[in-house]
Structure 1
């Protein structure tokens, strides 16, 4: 499944419990894709404080806010021509979801404090450990963004259900260290 999805340009949503290796799957998608020589940029959407999310994702111009002492490229622009991996996308605030959706629709990203958009081309891979459909129903996740990211879905079984795969996963983790 990973190999066939790697050759597709459509967004991928990886679903699984915490600790099952969703980021490893995302890295394999990148490694086997036509974008393998371009950046793989991983962002844990649930770990970024809401006030810093626009700067982290979209970048900022010098002086855009207190503490912005220099221009900073955001994760989206850093992933240009490569893969942007948004982990725990289900924890992303609604207003940031709207901004990410706009980038997906337009292919343009605008730094905080700028009015000049920059064209970006990246493959979006997202991951979640929550039920995004329920999030949509409960108003915690945007329906339009959900439909954009659920084009290709990979479900990663919990380790307790993986049998002999656990050994391979352990070996892959050891190799990565």
Structure 2
């Protein structure tokens, strides 16, 4: 094995792991599942990189993470544990003051979106990707990205309007 590739892989994992885990959390809404998604994605990235099939570790890892998430979602809930104790209570974010309460509320709203809409919203607005980049990663047309983004944002606005009323941001904008 090439020591330079191994060194690059090690450095990449150390520098980008936290960001990938946050992105995975935004996609799935569960820290343990996010950890599993990132581990699976990084294993695939390492295998591909060792075979010399990766031009950009960063771009490839995000694409693989998204594919792992969508594949995991397609398999359905039969592979994942569920909390059957009180589903309504599990969906409610804990009461926290200030920005944390807003963040938890937005994350709870994000979890209600279908998988493709959630992936589109996360890529467009969390990863700050262009419509073209998002379409390429998802393997869909630019029109699909635009419609999924619009539908996802409309659903988030409706959910957040119901739970927070009008949410004012520090710059004075309204969601």
What's the TM-score, normalizing by structure 1? 0.27
User: Bigger radius of gyration, 1 or 2?
Assistant: 2
More helix by share: 2
Question: How high is the TM-score relative to the length of structure 2?
Answer: 0.27
Higher relative strand content: 1
